[in-house]
């Protein structure tokens, strides 16, 4: 009841005209910036930090929250329409959303994503209000072996489900893990795969890898085929969801937050892991398996709902522990410190008005985001009517601008082109792109957690499986790996029984 009354006070703060204005500006800026390839919510919040020096803290953080949610939806827009994620959490949206767009159902994919973001954000924020202290306690108890087990599960799941074969999925993952090794060893300071270049000492930013593999790779692939076939405008389709679409997606919208919120609250990679796991779950449960890879709407609805819920989960650890679990949370933590505020267990007591106003603004931002993006779905979908040579030329331009904005180094553009050529080669030989991006995002963190776990156990491998949580996760991993073999054995036993009966 205390949390409910505090939330009502928060609505009193969030619904003042000036704070409503900041929320609307944040949602608009976030969506617009998220649509640009390579410029995600973290970069948007970082770029706007200096602008907010003159604002009072509550208004500034309400605008940051709007940017966060708006940029997440904007990133899924380019994923769906152009196969070009605006940020890493939107990578999965391209898997089914882009085939839907190519078949003339881009508006339906965007509508499913918008409603998924709304449902996931609302449910996730309700869970944030109700469960923040308990989830924070669970996050404190999770150690290095558990983090590493979760990441192994993500690696196995994504290589097992995507692509035409597990070998190709594993090869793609290894490419990503190799790119993730570039830079200084976080524990020893030794250079790895830098070829003596000081500019590579900080590693390759995940934004450059994602934009290179998706945007540049896709543009080069399309350009190679445009020489043989003339590009034709793709039909936009009707701008609403039919009854059949709603029947197929409402369960996905509700399942997504159950996966996304817990993963957002623990330091395990933010929205990337739950979106992949949601994709895997929806594919397993789908009654339309023949559509997967060709435009299954559940593959958009579930992951987008999980992504939005994970954003609410991220705020649990940041507000209650001062522990940022994503890049956006890290930038927002810097913003708190800019105002002389230290997130942690005492934040809810010392800065009650700010915290509950921020949480209430999440509900307001979700409504604004849905009201803004549902009418705009057919407008965004009309991007597909632009002739493909001009469209992909524009993508190359914005991708280069986004990559250069990351570090302001000319070398970043060279790296972008090289990774784009790798992406083109992966498409040429049938390697799925997603496992490579996962390897870059989670590889360095997985290595760090592995080494921490081994240090704690004095080098004993048993230290990786010394908690009930890690044992449970590795059991799931074993089932995923052995399932095809078990299924073959089961079908062989059934065939032998039938032959005996005959």
pLDDT digits (tens, 9 = 90+) for 292-310: 767 778 878 888 888 888 8
What percentage of the chain exceeds 90 in pLDDT? 0
The CA distance from 356 to 4, in Å, is: 10
Q: Is residue 82 pLDDT above 50, yes or no?
A: yes
Distance CA 475, CA 306 (A): 23
End-to-end CA distance of the chain: 68
Residue 349, pLDDT above cutoff 80? no
The lowest-confidence range among 132-136, 168-172, 419-423 is: 132-136
Dihedral, CA of residue 466, residue 467, residue 471 and residue 474, to nearest 10: -80
- Residue 137 in this model has a pLDDT that exceeds 60: no
CA distance 321 to 319: 6
d(CA 230, CA 320): 55
Tokens of 46: 């970082």
Separation between Cα atoms, residue 133 and residue 332, nearest integer Å: 20
Residue 384 pLDDT class (50, 70, 90 cuts) = low
Token readout for 10 is: 């928060």
Q: What is the pLDDT of residue 229?
A: 47
Task: Give the three-class secondary structure for 230.
Answer: coil
Its pTM stands at 0.63
Instruction: Kindly report, residue by residue over 32-73, the tens digit of the pLDDT.
Output: 766 665 556 666 666 666 666 677 778 888 887 888 778 777
Dig out the tokens for 361 from the structure.
């603004």
Q: What are phi and psi of 193, to 5 degrees?
A: 55, 30
Residue-averaged pLDDT of the chain: 76
Partners of 191 in beta bridges: 184
pLDDT at 125 over 80: yes
Of the listed ranges 198-207, 263-272, 275-284, the one predicted with least confidence: 263-272
According to the model, what pLDDT value does residue 231 have? 45
What is the reported pLDDT for 72? 75
Q: Categorize the per-residue pLDDT at 470 as very low, low, confident or very high, splitting at 50, 70 and 90.
A: confident
Per the DSSP assignment, residues forming a β-bridge with 184 are 191
CB atoms within 10 A of CB 423: 28
pLDDT at 160: 67
C-alpha distances (whole Å) from 393 to each of 268, 449, 491, 499 are 36, 41, 51, 61
Contact status, residue 398 vs residue 36, Cβ threshold 8 Å: yes
Which long-range CB contacts under 8 A does 424-427 form with residues at least 24 apart? 424/216, 424/217, 424/220, 424/221, 424/224, 426/172, 426/175, 426/213, 426/217, 427/217, 427/218, 427/221
318-330 confidence digits (pLDDT tens): 777 666 666 677 6
Mean pLDDT of the 77-92 span: 72
pLDDT in tens, 210-242: 778 877 887 788 777 765 444 444 555 555 677
Question: 169, exposed or middle or buried, with CB in 10 Å at 0-12, 13-18, 19+?
Answer: buried
pLDDT over threshold 60, residue 499: yes
* Exposure letters 265-280 (e unless 16+ CB within 10 A, then b): bbbbbbbbbbbbbbbb
**CA-wise closest residue to 264 among 214, 220, 305:** 305
**pLDDT given for residue 233 in this prediction:** 45
pLDDT at position 406 is: 65
pLDDT of residue 345: 64
């Amino acid at each position: 009841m205390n949390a409910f009354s505090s939330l009502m006070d928060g609505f009193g703060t969030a619904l003042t005209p000036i704070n409503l204005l900041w929320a609307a500006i944040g949602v608009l800026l976030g969506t617009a910036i998220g649509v640009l390839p390579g410029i995600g919510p973290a970069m948007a919040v970082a770029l706007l930090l200096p602008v907010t020096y003159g604002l009072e803290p509550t208004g500034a953080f309400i605008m940051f929250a709007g940017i966060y949610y708006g940029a997440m939806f904007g990133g899924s827009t380019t994923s769906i329409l152009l196969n070009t994620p605006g940020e890493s959490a939107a990578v999965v949206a391209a898997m089914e959303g882009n085939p839907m767009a190519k078949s003339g159902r881009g508006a339906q994919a965007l509508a499913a994503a918008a409603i998924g973001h709304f449902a996931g954000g609302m449910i996730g924020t309700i869970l944030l209000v109700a469960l923040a202290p308990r989830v924070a306690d669970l996050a404190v108890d999770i150690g290095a072996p558990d983090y590493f087990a979760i990441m192994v599960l993500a690696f196995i799941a994504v290589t097992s489900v995507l692509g035409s074969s597990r070998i190709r999925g594993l090869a793609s993952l290894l490419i990503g893990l190799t790119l993730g090794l570039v830079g200084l060893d976080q524990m020893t300071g030794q250079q790895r795969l830098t070829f003596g270049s000081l500019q590579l000492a900080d590693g390759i930013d995940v934004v450059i890898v994602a934009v290179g593999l998706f945007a540049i790779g896709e543009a080069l692939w399309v350009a190679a085929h445009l020489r043989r076939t003339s590009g034709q405008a793709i039909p936009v389709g009707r701008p609403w969801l039919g009854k059949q679409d709603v029947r197929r997606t409402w369960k996905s919208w509700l399942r997504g937050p159950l996966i996304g919120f817990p993963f957002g609250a623990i330091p395990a990679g933010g929205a990337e892991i739950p979106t992949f796991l949601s994709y895997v779950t929806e594919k397993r449960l789908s009654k339309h398996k023949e559509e997967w890879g060709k435009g299954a709407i559940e593959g958009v609805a579930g992951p987008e709902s999980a992504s939005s819920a994970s954003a609410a989960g991220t705020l649990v650890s940041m507000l209650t522990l001062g522990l940022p679990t994503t890049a956006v949370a890290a930038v927002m933590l810097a913003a708190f410190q800019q105002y002389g505020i230290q997130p942690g267990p005492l934040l809810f007591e010392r800065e009650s008005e700010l915290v509950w106003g921020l949480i209430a603004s999440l509900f307001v931002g979700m409504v604004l985001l849905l009201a803004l993006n549902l009418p705009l779905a057919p407008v965004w979908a009309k991007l597909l009517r632009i002739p493909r040579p001009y469209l992909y030329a524009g993508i190359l331009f914005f991708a280069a601008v986004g990559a250069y904005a990351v570090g302001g180094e000319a070398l970043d553009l060279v790296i972008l082109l090289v990774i784009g050529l790798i992406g083109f080669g992966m498409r040429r030989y049938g390697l799925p792109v997603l496992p490579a991006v996962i390897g870059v995002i989670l590889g360095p963190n997985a290595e760090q957690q592995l080494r921490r776990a081994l240090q704690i156990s004095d080098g004993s491998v048993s230290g990786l499986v010394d908690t009930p949580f890690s044992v449970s996760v590795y059991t799931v991993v074993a089932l995923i790996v052995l399932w095809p073999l078990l299924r073959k054995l089961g079908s062989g036993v059934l065939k032998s029984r039938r032959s005996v009966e005959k």
